[in-house]
Structure 1
Amino acid sequence: MAVAKILWVDDEIESLQSQKLFLEHKGYAVETLTNGFDAIEYVKDNLVDVMLIDESMPGITGLETLARIKEQYSQLPVILVTKNETENLMDEAIGSQIADYLIKPVNPNQVLLSLKKIIDNKRLVAEKTTSAYQQQFRELFMALNSNPDHNEWMELYKKLVYWELEMEKSDSPEMREVFQTQKQEANTEFCKYISRNYASWVDPKAADAPIMSHQLFRFKVLPHVEKGIPVFFLLIDNLRYDQWKAIQPIFAESFRIQEEETFYSILPTATQYCRNAIFAGLMPVDIEKQFPQQWKNDDEEGGKNLYEEDFFRAQLKRLRKEDTRFSYNKILHHNDGQQLVANVHNLLQNDLNIIVYNFVDMLSHARTEMEVLKELASDETSYRSLTKSWFEHSPLHQALKKIAEKKVKVILATDHGSVRVNTPRKVIGDKQTTTNLRYKHGRNLNFDPKEVLAFKDPKEAGLPVPNVNSSFIFAKDDDFLCYPNNYNHYVNYYRNTFQHGGISLEEMIVPIIKMVSKG
């Protein structure tokens, strides 16, 4: 490991020789100077890892030295050392982006701890992350093999997401590989679990089933609606739980997160099914019965999500909550987002404001079709990073900041997640068979029954029957469904893209978050 170079600037440096020797004994190379002017010149020609500056020096103060150095070398970590404990100085130092702040007299271990935080932080965190996951590995393995129920699966997935995010701090490719293998095993077991239980969950007489898309408003949103405190229900299309964790710190700046839960998306994990189910409060088979003109199957012409507001109004009526004053806002383009920012204060008059935001879904589809986005979002880590960057600079974030000072509640959810697909599976069907990669429905489908979850009678899955003898099949794990025609071309085109519609932890276990404004 390379020796870290420390520059210590203090007009009384002679009295700190014992500290210099202590740090050199600990393996650091320490250069000392007595004034800020020399320090500014020194860093022009010499590589420095960390700089310690005394605040009170003749000629040019520590803060002035810091400002001059940061103009040229903004990434250089600087520790300010001072006798002055006034709040003004602390505020100014923090505003000048210091790395740490030490009060004189400092003892050697204080300086050592500060240097370790700055220089060795990543290495120490990486080592601790790797050893902590090694200890957790067996616990996760035991949990996966103890026949978890639907609540335990949600907790397991949260733990897997936690470790996936922690693994970004690890510098061990071997441990990352071990984790990915464990996550794949979890998905395989989850797919078996869903295959065994899904039909019983969607049975209207189900006794033990999780909260699913069609029950979301009834059990997780409407109970929080009360007169006098506006509720903003924010549905970000296609937002996975790990993507929520990526944007959570941005929300936490303005909102206090009270409940961080998950629910199960219905199958297919596709917008036209899940989102219509959320707003109608009904499974798709019942939506088709009650709204035969508005419901469109995959193979029918016309928009599939054009009547969400009508469906929601009917759900309120059915639940005898038709006096709820609500607004419905769908954001499909940047201009819609800007209009939301301009209009958001007017929404405070409503009991409930629904905002449907389509960006993440557009991102996953654009990533499939655009090479540049495939490069930018080549894996889960970069996909999360792109989501975070979008949200930070989005009109949605601007709109939320505008209401954060008012007394409001925010409930964030999604309709489904997505999974990165890698394994092609052959399916044969007639011309009416749908083109989706993670689920298909049609007549005379030919497939390997071990590779998919199949419903010969779609009603068993709570789904409409598009044509006589139509059946539905759902891809599992990281599989994607391809036809034999031009097979290799489509396999290469769609491999390593984010898709949704099938069965995986990422697609089915999705976030529902309750927050209140700090204001």
Structure 2
Amino acid sequence: MSQVRILWADDEIDLLKPHVLFLEQKGYEVVAVNNGAEAVELAEEQHFDIVFLDENMPGLSGLETLQKMKENDATLPIIMITKSEEEHIMEEAIGSKISDYLIKPVNPNQILLSIKKNLDKNRLVSERTTSGYQRQFQQIGMQLNDRLDYHDWTELYKKLVYWDLELEDSQDKGMSEVFRMQQIDANNQFVRFIKENYEDWLNGIEEAPVMSHNLFQNKVKPIIESTGDKPVFLFLIDNLRYDQWKTLQPRISEFLRVEDEEMFYSILPTATHYARNAIFAGLMPSEIARRFPDMWKTENDEGGKNNHEADFLASNLKRMGMDISWSYNKITNLNAGKRLADSFFELKDNKLNVIVYNFVDMLSHARTEMEVIKELADDSPAYRSLTQSWFDHSPLIEMMQKAAEMGGHFIITTDHGTVRVEDPVKIVGDRNTNTNLRYKAGRNLNYNEKEVYEVRDPDDVFLPKYNVSTHYVFATKDDFFVYPNNYNHFVKYYRHTFQHGGVSMEEMLIPFISLSTK
């Protein structure tokens, strides 16, 4: 590694000779000057890793020197050193994007700490993160060998997402690979857990977690009833994984306070047609199909399969005895989002306002369809980054900010997550079989039973029967279904894309966030 070069500009630089010698003994090269003009000239002509800049110099002041240096190289870390504790000077320096701010007299260790914080931060954070995960690795492994219940799995998944985010920028690629293998192991165990318990949950044989079809009854209704006259805004961001929520949380926390962060289980299939209709109807899919035969769409029906969510919600609220004013808006494109954002204050008199935002779902599908998006979101960190970038420039953040101005209570949730698929699983079905890559519904399906979660009788899991021999199979972990014909083409086309419909922690364990105004 090349020697770190420091430029230090101070009109009393001779008095700082002990500090300079201290840094040189630590292996740094220090170039010292006594005025701002010379510092600017040197910074333009030579490479420096970091600059220490006195705020109060004759001639070109520290702030003026700072401005000129930033114009030349906006990425250069600059530490402002001053005798003054005046607030306006601090604010001006911080507004000019200084990297640190030190008050004279400074001691050598302060200087050393500032250098490490700015130049070695990534390495130090990476090393600490790696050692932290190394300590947790064995504990997580032991947990995976225990008999976990549904609550244990949500807590374990939160822990895995935490380390996923922490290791995202790690310079230790070997440790990142160790974590990836532990994620795979966890998903393998989670699939076994779902196979053993899912049907029992739905049939009341075992205590069940909150799931899509009882989310309103168990979570939303109590919030509405506890907030008095205040409005409740429910933002359902389609296809939002828990790690994506954690990526958006810092931005949202600028104007909303997180009161509670919970998780619930999406029903199967983890697909919008089933999971989101179940949320709004307060019913499982087969119950919806039976009660609302004209509104429930089969797998082979043309057109959208979630066009009656407002009708389902109206019926659900009535069954729960909730005679309240409410609104429902679904955003499926940018223009619709802008229109709702422009008129958002019109919602203030409703007790409940539901805003379904489909963009993350569209982004997920675009990740499959568009080569540019494929390159931008090649893995989970890139997918999270793309979600963050979209959110920062979307009408959704404007809506949330306007809702915060109105006061009230806020819910951010979703209907299911997605998983990045890796391994193809061969399946054969007739021409009426649905096209989803993570679940198949139909008859005459041929597959390897060991590679899937199969439901031979849809009644067992409250799914519709489209004929007497209909059954469902779900891809698990990071598998995806591919037909044998033109197999290699479709494997190459869909591998490393984000899909949903099957059984994985990423798809089934999803966030339910309660927030209030700051």
User: Equivalent residues in 2 for 1:40-119 (5 A)?
Assistant: 40-119=40-119
Aligned to 1:305: 306
Residue 213 of structure 2 corresponds to: 214
Alignment of 1:102-501 (within 5 A): 102-203=102-203, 205-225=204-224, 226-321=227-322, 323-501=323-501
Instruction: Give the CA deviation at 1:207.
Output: 4.4
User: What is the aligned-residue identity percentage?
Assistant: 55
Secondary structure of 1:404's counterpart equals helix
Structure 2 length normalisation: TM-score? 0.98
1:402 Cα deviation after fit:
2.3
SS at the partner of 1:516? strand
Q: Post-superposition shift, 1:300?
A: 2.0
> Separation in 2 of the partners of 1:441 and 1:197?
21
- Displacement of 1:405 in angstroms is 2.9
Which amino acid letter does the alignment assign opposite residue 209 of structure 1? A
Bigger mean CA deviation after superposition, 394-403 or 370-379: 394-403
| Structure 1 letter corresponding to 2:295 | Q
Work out the CA distance in 2 between the residues paired with 1:369 and 1:149: 38
Q: Does the Cα contact within 8 Å between 1:125 and 1:169 map onto a contact in 2? A: no
Q: CA deviation at 1:430?
A: 1.6
TM-score by length of 1: 0.98
Residue pair 2:236, 2:415 contacting (<8 A) in 1 also: yes
1:381-403 CA deviation, whole Å, 9 max, x = no partner?
Answer: 10000000000110111122223
1:50 CA drift (Å): 0.9
Counterpart-to-counterpart distance in 1, 2:281 and 2:292: 10
Structure 2 distance, partners of 1:505, 1:9, is 54
CA distance in 1, matches of 2:288, 2:182: 39
User: Structure 1 CA distance, aligned partners of 2:233 and 2:444?
Assistant: 45
Q: Secondary structure at the match of 1:259?
A: strand
Question: In the TM superposition, what is the alpha-carbon distance from 1:64 to its structure 2 partner?
Answer: 1.2
Q: How far did residue 301 of structure 1 move?
A: 2.5
When structure 1 is superposed on structure 2, of 327-336 and 293-302 the one drifting more is 293-302
String of CA shifts for 1:415-453, please: whole Å, max 9, x gaps. 000111111111112222111110001112111111111
State the Cα distance separating 1:488 from its structure 2 match: 1.8
Equivalent-residue separation in structure 2 for 1:133 and 1:139 (angstroms): 10
- Deviation of 1:208 after TM superposition, in Å, equals 0.5
Paired with 1:120 and 1:142, the residues of 2 have a C-alpha distance of 34
Unaligned 5+ residue runs, structure 1?
A: none
1:194 CA drift (Å):
0.3
CA contact (8 A) 1:368 1:498 kept: yes
**Letter aligned with residue 434 of structure 1:** N
- Cα distance in 2 for partners of 1:94, 1:488 equals 55
Tell me how far apart the structure 1 counterparts of residues 236 and 126 of structure 2 sit (CA, whole Å). 35
Cα distance in 2 for partners of 1:104, 1:404 equals 42
Q: How does 1:22-33 map to 2 (within 5 A)?
A: 22-33=22-33
TM-aligned CA deviation for residue 404 of structure 1: 2.2
1:228 Cα deviation after fit? 2.3
> Quick one: which amino acid aligns to residue 268 of structure 2?
L
Letter of the structure 1 residue corresponding to residue 156 of structure 2 = L
Of 259-268 and 71-80, deviating more is 71-80
Q: What's the offset of the Cα at 1:326? A: 0.7
Q: Is the 8 A contact 1:227 1:351 kept in 2?
A: no
Alpha-carbon shift at residue 39 of structure 1 (Å): 0.8
Alpha-carbon distance between aligned partners in 2 of 1:261 and 1:421, rounded to the nearest angstrom = 26
Contact 1:129–1:169 (CA under 8 A) maintained in structure 2: no
Conserved? CA contact 1:7–1:52, under 8 Å: yes
Q: Distance in 2 between matches of 1:186 and 1:136?
A: 14
Take 1:117 and 1:406, find their aligned partners in 2: how far apart are those partners?
40
**SS, match of residue 405 in structure 1:** helix
| Contact 2:233-2:403 at 8 Å conserved across structures | no
